Amino acid sequence: MRNRVLLILLLLSAAINLGVMGRATYRYCCSWMEVQPAGRITHPSQNPAYAALQLSDLQADQIDGIHAEVQRRLEPLREQMKRLRREFLDLFGAATTDRRTLELKIGEMSAVQEQIEKVVADSLLQEKNILSPEQQGALLKLLERRFKQEDHHGTGTMTPYNTIPERAQPDRKPEAKRR
């Protein structure tokens, strides 16, 4: 009986230790791989765009302030866009779908998207005023890369901060169009 209790305590202790070690390992390994939500800016050493722009700590802090304000302004627009998309899907999923009604909903969505792009453009102009001419050139390259990605992967807002720095990749030939 005594050996059985000792064996159970030993197994319980081992399970607890393994659990603690597993959680610590997971947190350590995954902390550097965390994907940041769109628009969330981190310290320059953790943000590839900040590193590409070679921001000083002061510049990074100023841009962080701009981004905080942008997020505050974008939140209600994003919520409105989510609501409009749900309404569009409801209209589309109805038993009878009227093209004119869908077009009106698309027009509403386009107006909200335009407001979003204007907020982002305003923030980019504010950021441009913080940057040196060399950094402005680097920002332009980030934006160009972002637009190029959108050409291949769809659309989004024109912020360069959720792009990954260009890596050495072999040139790809465009795929032939299917008929």
Q: What is the pLDDT of residues 30-52, one digit of tens each?
A: 443 344 444 444 555 567 888 88
Q: How far is CA 52 from CA 70, 91, 134, in A?
A: 21, 44, 11
HSE-CB of 130 using CA atoms within 13 angstroms: 21
- In angstroms, rounded to a whole number, what is the distance separating the alpha carbons of residues 158 and 39? 11
Report the amino acid identity of residue 41: I
- In angstroms, rounded to a whole number, what is the distance separating the alpha carbons of residues 86 and 108? 13
Q: What is the pLDDT of residues 68-92, one digit of tens each?
A: 999 999 999 999 999 999 999 999 9
User: What is the percent of the chain with per-residue pLDDT over 70, rounded to a whole number?
Assistant: 61
Written as six digits, the tokens of 7 are 């064996």
pTM above 0.85, yes or no: no
